[in-house]
Structure 1
């Protein structure tokens, strides 16, 4: 697996081309999120370790965190160090190689995928801009929040697309509590208020998680803060109800739980601007808030808009055929949130959910092996197993599909919480296998009793 980097020209700004072994089928997976990492791990086990293919994962981060956990990191209810997975070590153990860099472009004729140079905190270059050759390319770079051009969002709101953003919000929350507790005067209106814009799964789960953890932080000796009076959480949604993409019964049950906790739920409320002091609604009403999270809407990353002519949707996702191959290049697959596919007989695309990414990764793993054998590819069939929403320590609600003649089954409470956690265990199982998952679960159960329930720094 040795590589030699060679420049394409004398220009130092030109990306260096990194050739792989000429006698092996080269598979490059761009993006180590839920679907991408499960796929590349499976490819490494089945093809890489057996010497049948040369497998490479390209990602702009060095570690993996399951994206549905980001709201827990933001709230401070999860120790990130216990859930991070190091790409370099995981690649070594599972028969593929990891390369550090962010996707910047594609040359379909030369079969090259390009990534940016990387730099440390002091501005020193870590890795140069590079190009990697491929025979089969899989794009799995996920989605990003869509601010719809709303004024002030980029400057004053934090999105939860990455681990770094979640950690940044948590640090800002804890610092706000320290500041309010140490200042000579009383807590000012809005100083410890959190406005969450967008009441999809991420925003809704964050609201409940924050209600618990913010009070947990204050309970550790911040006696000048009255959590019932000084801490306020407002969940803002432009649609007529929260969780608009999920069943109405689930939305209604979640709304009741949040309102019982004291979370202010504002549906039919469209945000027109965000400032340092709060959020302005279309009605002219101003909601004071020093802490703003933007969780409204998703779109494909900007790099997909002009990726050597590949077809994109209005939401900037790559349009794919039923086989999950792009419409204009059969050697390129797309999975996860970056893929746009409207199933036959449906009017809406497959939703950007972890269960969809998991199913697509399993499908493409089989199809790449069929493609290498010259066999015809099979279409992807998405199966919706239902929806679950975790409200932290308070409750979990959801509906599971397909148990009785395709009907849904409503679940709530402990059983729903177990099912919600099992989704993460399935992801870990795909990456590590059963024994490591069981041992890690046991270890965390034991150590959790000796650690604070919230992150305090």
Structure 2
């Protein structure tokens, strides 16, 4: 009989994003199924989709039903418990997580306000866009933070195409014009995907719309180049491709206000648009600011030690975008999916050591570079930046295959080889019998 390494402890993971779900799955597979640990994942959504895929959902190039993970099913298959709800507070004295009531779409209560006891708490609640207090963003701009945001944008995009086709008069100045504020990974990837999918949508019989003349996508960036966090060569190659697609790129352009049908810049220019997406800047959720007396920084991230333990409570860990983990002279570990994946793998090994009272190893971020998907037009990126001391920049189909492999690695961490192989084959088969763009 296998010797029990520690008493059955309660591990609570708040947040079911890439890091939180991977950690719950791995701990559940090894310890939850054997009854050695009681693992609970708290998440307000019912299903999960890899966040870097949200721009594909918004553009309509990905069928969300073929990619989303059902939390309840995942917990059943992998030995952890899923509890629907949104964390609102922590009682460190009683070691409890406070969760708000969960309401359905009609406002009816599904679950009441609850508390969950923990011995170890892992905060993995992700991030949200930072509007920097810009007037009008909250009222008029859409964001791509959740599946609901992506679905809403896609619905509005398709409706705009149908509306433009149905009207008898010439298209108005704002119609079928999209303004994307922020030329980081999300903004650039969304612009490239929209260039293709808007044209595919109107090709399905919406012949009153001229894609070359009527559809206009504008990408607005306050920095002096697109993808400012990546090597300059990657930015230049990306700008060249966007220019070939006819996407207007405005760099060094700071937004002063967002209106219902326009984006105003500080230099006096106005960009007309029917659809406006805010993809500039990130911050941790506002409720984390000084939560339970834990140390946070100016963008609400929880400051952690090298072991990923919060500075003021060794029993509370933070991973992913909501964690401010030092990366030496380069600042903090960047908010990327690869960081969340690495931190989840690190805590998978360290939590059992913590429960046994053993010293913990420090987490070290390994930068494997960055990849930007440009849809059917390929991808651009850099790899092995920190490992080689320089960036190897590449583009085209090879970069595209590397980008796809990252997603497959994530799927493998959640499902294993057999399920990933079968689901990939199923998607390939379905793609031959369905439209390549979602039309509703």
TM-score (norm 2): 0.97
Selected match of 1:422 from 399, 405, 410: 405
Alignment-derived partner of residue 160 in structure 1: 144
1:381 aligns with 2:371: no
Alignment-derived partner of residue 53 in structure 1: 37
1:364 aligns with 2:341: no
Deviation per CA, 1:360-379: give whole Å up to 9, x if none: 00001111011122211000
Selected match of 1:320 from 301, 304, 325: 304
1:120 aligns with 2:104: yes
Task: Report deviation, 1:407.
Answer: 3.7
Which residues in structure 2 correspond to 1:289-300 (within 5 Å)?
289-300=273-284
Distance 1:257 1:174, change over 3 A: same
Which residues in structure 2 correspond to 1:278-357 (within 5 Å)?
278-344=262-328, 346-357=329-340
Distance 1:215 1:27, change over 3 A: same
Distance 1:125 1:436, change over 3 A: same
Deviation per CA, 1:388-443: give whole Å up to 9, x if none: 11111112111111698444322211111110001111110000011111111111
Alignment-derived partner of residue 24 in structure 2: 40
Selected match of 1:412 from 388, 395, 414: 395
Task: Report deviation, 1:121.
Answer: 1.9
Alignment-derived partner of residue 448 in structure 1: 431
Report the RMSD for the aligned CA atoms in angstroms. Answer: 1.3
Task: Report deviation, 1:343.
Answer: 2.1
Deviation per CA, 1:163-184: give whole Å up to 9, x if none: 0001000000001111111112
- 1-side partners of 2:46 and 2:272: how far apart? 37
Task: Report deviation, 1:24.
Answer: 2.1
Alignment-derived partner of residue 255 in structure 1: 239
Q: How many residues align?
A: 435
- 2-side partners of 1:63 and 1:234: how far apart? 32
Deviation per CA, 1:302-341: give whole Å up to 9, x if none: 1101310000011110000000000000000100000001
Alignment-derived partner of residue 239 in structure 1: 223
Selected match of 1:438 from 421, 430, 436: 421
SS of match in other structure, 1:393:
helix
Contact 1:194 1:232 in 2 (8 A): yes
Contact 1:403 1:409 in 2 (8 A): no
Unaligned runs of 5+ in 1: 1-22
- 1-side partners of 2:346 and 2:254: how far apart? 39
- 1-side partners of 2:170 and 2:9: how far apart? 66
Alignment-derived partner of residue 93 in structure 2: 109
SS of match in other structure, 1:159:
coil
Contact 1:103 1:303 in 2 (8 A): no
Task: Report deviation, 1:347.
Answer: 3.6
Alignment-derived partner of residue 3 in structure 2: none
Runs of 4+ more than 3 Å apart: 402-407
- 1-side partners of 2:148 and 2:240: how far apart? 32
1:143 aligns with 2:114: no
Alignment-derived partner of residue 7 in structure 1: none
- 2-side partners of 1:405 and 1:87: how far apart? 38
Which residues in structure 2 correspond to 1:148-227 (within 5 Å)?
148-227=132-211
